[in-house]
């Protein structure tokens, strides 16, 4: 399986977290909260669409349920392939960091227990 990028990982996680309320605008707000950075509209929807095309997300058109103004929202959901990709990204992350010698952890201002020994 091909590794997802950091942006893709973040969007998948945001979608995952929002559950049934994973609309584009909310996903955007979520990644802005997590990162503390501003995201343009395109900076969210373009990668989201790519994730859909790759089969890591699925989406359904605007639901007519809510009584609210504005254009109907588009809902996103993580597919099982998406979960697998997330799992793979996490495993890679841990594999990378686990190889670091103790000395380097001090340079990073982190203690060894950040390694994930307790999983």
- Residues in contact with a copy of itself by the rule CB under 8 A: 3, 5-6, 9-10, 13, 16-17, 19, 30, 34-35, 83, 86-87, 89-90, 92-93, 95-97, 99-101, 104, 107-111, 113-114, 116-119
Residue 110: φ, ψ to 5°:
-125, 150
Q: Nearer to DNA by C-beta: 32 or 115?
A: 32
Q: Environment class of residue 9 by beta-carbon count within 10 Å: exposed (0-12), middle (13-18) or buried (19+)?
A: middle
Which tokens sit at 11? 């969007």
**Measuring CA to CA, which residue among 36, 47, 60, 39 is closest to residue 4?**
47
The one among 5, 94, 104, 116 contacting DNA by CB under 7 A:
5
What is the C-alpha to C-alpha distance for residues 58 and 52, in angstroms, rounded to an integer? 6
Min separation Cβ 38 and DNA, Å: 6
Does 109 sit near DNA (CB under 7 A)?
no
Give 72 or 114: the residue with its C-beta nearer to DNA. 72
**How far is residue 86's CA from residue 72's CA, in Å, rounded to a whole number?**
29
* Region of 45-53, 77-85, 91-99, 105-113 interacting with DNA (CB under 7 A): 45-53
The pair of structure tokens assigned to 24 is: 């584009």
Among 13, 14, 73, 78, binds DNA (CB under 7 A): 73
In the bound complex, what is the minimum distance in angstroms from residue 63's beta carbon to a copy of itself? 22
């Amino acid at each position: 399986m091909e590794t997802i990028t950091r942006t893709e990982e973040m969007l998948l996680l945001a979608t995952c977290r929002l559950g049934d309320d994973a609309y584009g605008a909310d996903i955007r707000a979520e990644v802005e909260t997590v990162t503390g950075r501003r995201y343009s509209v395109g900076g969210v929807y373009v990668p989201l669409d790519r994730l859909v095309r790759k089969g890591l997300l699925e989406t359904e058109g605007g639901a007519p349920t809510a009584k609210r103004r504005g254009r109907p929202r588009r809902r996103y959901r993580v597919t099982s392939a998406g979960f697998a990709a997330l799992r793979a990204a996490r495993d890679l992350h841990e594999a990378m960091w686990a190889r670091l010698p103790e000395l380097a952890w001090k340079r990073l201002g982190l203690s060894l227990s950040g390694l994930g020994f307790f999983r």
